[in-house]
DNA sequence: CACTTATAGAACAAAATGTTCTATAGCGCA
DNA sequence: TGCGCTATAGAACATTTTGTTCTATAAGTG
C-alpha cells in the first residue's frame, strides 16, 4: 500500500513554492492562487491538499520546522566547541531556507498557534545543544564556579537570533569570534558575586 | 487654518482599531473592511484616508514607532542606571501597545520596508540609551579596561527582546535582576583577553 | 449665515477565494 | 497487459473581499 507518487510530488512542489513566496513576499501572499501560478498546479488540486489558506500557510511554516539536527561537539575546549556549534547555527540562519523564513515564522507566532509551536520546539533544540556544550565544559572543570550558566546559554543563543531576526543585521565570522570570546571570558571568570 | 477635527478623530479611531486587530489577529486581518466593522467608520471614508491595504497596515505600524522616548538616567552607579533603563524598556515590552504589536512589526520587517524602518529606528534609540549609560560608567571609571562595551550593549538589549519577541517567554523582575547582575559583573571584570 | 469639506451609504466593478463537476491520465495491483 | 482507483487539470460557478464612484447629509470654518 504505497503512497501515490503524484501526491508526494504535488506536495513537494507546492510547499517549495509556498516557502519561496513566504520568504520573498511575506505571509500575505501565500495563497492558493499564487502557488498555482508559481507551479502550474491547478487551484482545485491545491484546495484538495490544503482546504483553506490557513492550512497552506501552516504547511509552509511546518515544513521548515525540521532543520537538520545539530549534534554538538563536546570534546572541548569550550571555546572550540562553542565556536563550532554557533558557527553551524549561524550558517543555518544565513544560508538555509530556514534562516530566510524564520522571521516570518517568528512574526506569525504571536497570533498563529502552529507557528508558535514551530518556534518553541526549534528553540528547545538549540538550547539543548548549547547546554550540552556547557555541561561538558563544566565536567572538564573549564568553567568558574558561581557563573550563572543558564543565563550564559541564553545570551549565547539570544545574540545571533536578535541580530538576524530582529535587527536584520549581518552575521559574519568576525562578529561570531568576538561573541564566542566574550562568552568564554565570562565562563572562565569568577564573577565575584 | 486649523485642521478639521473630523479628520483627526477618524484617523485616531481607525488606527486604534487597526492596532488592536494587528495585535489580536495578525497583519492578515488588518483591512479596511475589518476596521470599518470594528469602528463604524464607513469603508469609503477609510479608503479616503488610506488608499489601499498596504497604506493602512503601514499606518498601524508607523503609529507605534513613536514610543515614549527614554531619557536614560546616567548618574550612577552602573547597576542602578542599567536596572532602571532596562526596567523601563521591559515595562514597555510587557504593558504597552508597542510591546504587544512589536512581534508583528518585526515579522513584517522582512518583507515590508516601512516596518523595517520602524524597527531599525526604534532599535537605534534603544541602543543609544544603553550606550549613554555605559559611557557615563566609563567616565566614572566603573568599567574595567579591555571590556568590549559594544558587545555588552548588544547583549543588554538582545536578551530581553529575544525572550519576549522570539521565545515569547515572560519578562519579570527576577529575570531582569539576574540579567543586570551578569552585565555588571562582566563590565567590572577585566576579561583578561 | 454661506461656503467648504468630511462622512455615510449605496451602487458598482474587479479581483480573490472557495466549491463543484467532468474528462483525462497516471498509478497500483492482479 | 488490462482493470479499477484516484489524482489532476480545467472550466463553470457562487461567494466574499477589495477598491471606486456617486449623492445626500451633516459638521466645521470664517
- Cis peptide bond prior to A25, omega within 30° of 0: no
B91-143 pLDDT, tens digit per residue, is 988 988 788 888 888 878 888 888 888 888 889 989 999 999 999 999 999 98
pLDDT class of A193 with cuts at 50, 70, 90: very low
Predicted local confidence at residue A70, as pLDDT: 75
Burial class (CB in 10 A: 0-12, 13-18, 19+), B174: exposed
Nearest nt (C1') to A32 (CA)? C17
Predicted local confidence at residue B131, as pLDDT: 95
Predicted local confidence at residue B1, as pLDDT: 66
A110-167 pLDDT, tens digit per residue, is 888 888 888 888 899 899 999 999 999 999 999 888 889 999 999 999 999 999 988 8
Domain locations in chain A?
5-63, 78-188
| pTM score | 0.86
Quickly give A60 CA vs D9 C1' distance in Å: 24
Predicted local confidence at residue A1, as pLDDT: 65
CA-based torsion, B164, B170, B173, B176: positive or negative: negative
Predicted local confidence at residue B184, as pLDDT: 94
Q: State the nearest Cα–Cα gap between B56 and chain A, in angstroms.
A: 14
Is some CB atom of chain A closer than 8 A to the CB atom of B109?
A: yes
Rounded average pLDDT over A38-48: 97
Is some CB atom of chain A closer than 8 A to the CB atom of B191?
A: yes
B:9-38 Cβ neighbours of strand D under 7 Å: 31-34
Predicted local confidence at residue A96, as pLDDT: 84
CB proximity under 8 Å: B 66-95 to A: none
Rounded average pLDDT over B157-166: 94
A67 close to A123: Cβ distance less than 8 angstroms: no
**Inter-chain contacts counted by CB atoms under 8 A, chains A and B:** 130
Name the helix (H) or strand (E) containing B43.
helix B43-49
Predicted local confidence at residue B193, as pLDDT: 44
| From A26, A108, A181, residue closest to B112, measured CB to CB | A26
CB proximity under 8 Å: A 9-38 to B: 24-28
Q: Are the beta carbons of B166 and A165 separated by less than 8 Å?
A: yes
Burial class (CB in 10 A: 0-12, 13-18, 19+), A55: middle
> What value does the mean pLDDT of chain A take?
89
Is B53's CB less than 7 Å from nucleic acid strand D? yes
pLDDT class of A19 with cuts at 50, 70, 90: very high
Q: Detail the protein residues whose CB sits closer than 7 A to any atom belonging to strand C.
A: A 1-2, 4-6, 31-34, 43-44, 47, 51-53; B 4, 6-7, 9-10, 40-45, 48-49
CATH code for the structural domain at B78-188 = 1.10.357.10
Give the integer Cα–Cα distance in Å for A156 and A158. 6
Q: Phi and psi dihedrals of A98, rounded to 5?
A: -55, -50
Q: Which fold has domain A5-63?
A: Arc Repressor Mutant, subunit A (1.10.10)
| From A104, A110, A179, residue closest to B151, measured CB to CB | A179
Cell of A144: 568558574
Cell numbers 548549547 correspond to what residue? A130
Amino acid at each position: 500500500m504505497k503512497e501515490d507518487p503524484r501526491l508526494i510530488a504535488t506536495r513537494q512542489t507546492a510547499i517549495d513554492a509556498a516557502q519561496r513566496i513566504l520568504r520573498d513576499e511575506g505571509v500575505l501572499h501565500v495563497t492558493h492562487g499564487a502557488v498555482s501560478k508559481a507551479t502550474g498546479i491547478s487551484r482545485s488540486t491545491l484546495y484538495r491538499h490544503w482546504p483553506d489558506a490557513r492550512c497552506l500557510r501552516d504547511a509552509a511554516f511546518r515544513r521548515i520546522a525540521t532543520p537538520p539536527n545539530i549534534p554538538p561537539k563536546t570534546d572541548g575546549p569550550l571555546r572550540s566547541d562553542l565556536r563550532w556549534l554557533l558557527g553551524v547555527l549561524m550558517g543555518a540562519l544565513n544560508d538555509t531556507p530556514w534562516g530566510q523564513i524564520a522571521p516570518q515564522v517568528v512574526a506569525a507566532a504571536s497570533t498563529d498557534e502552529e507557528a508558535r509551536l514551530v518556534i518553541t520546539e526549534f528553540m528547545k533544540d538549540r538550547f539543548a545543544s548549547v547546554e550540552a556544550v556547557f555541561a561538558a565544559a563544566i565536567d572538564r572543570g573549564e568553567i568558574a564556579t558561581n557563573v550563572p550558566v543558564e543565563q550564559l546559554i541564553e545570551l549565547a543563543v539570544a545574540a545571533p537570533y536578535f541580530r538576524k531576526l530582529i535587527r536584520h543585521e549581518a552575521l559574519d565570522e568576525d562578529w561570531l569570534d568576538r561573541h564566542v570570546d566574550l562568552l568564554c571570558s565570562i565562563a572562565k571568570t569568577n564573577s565575584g558575586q
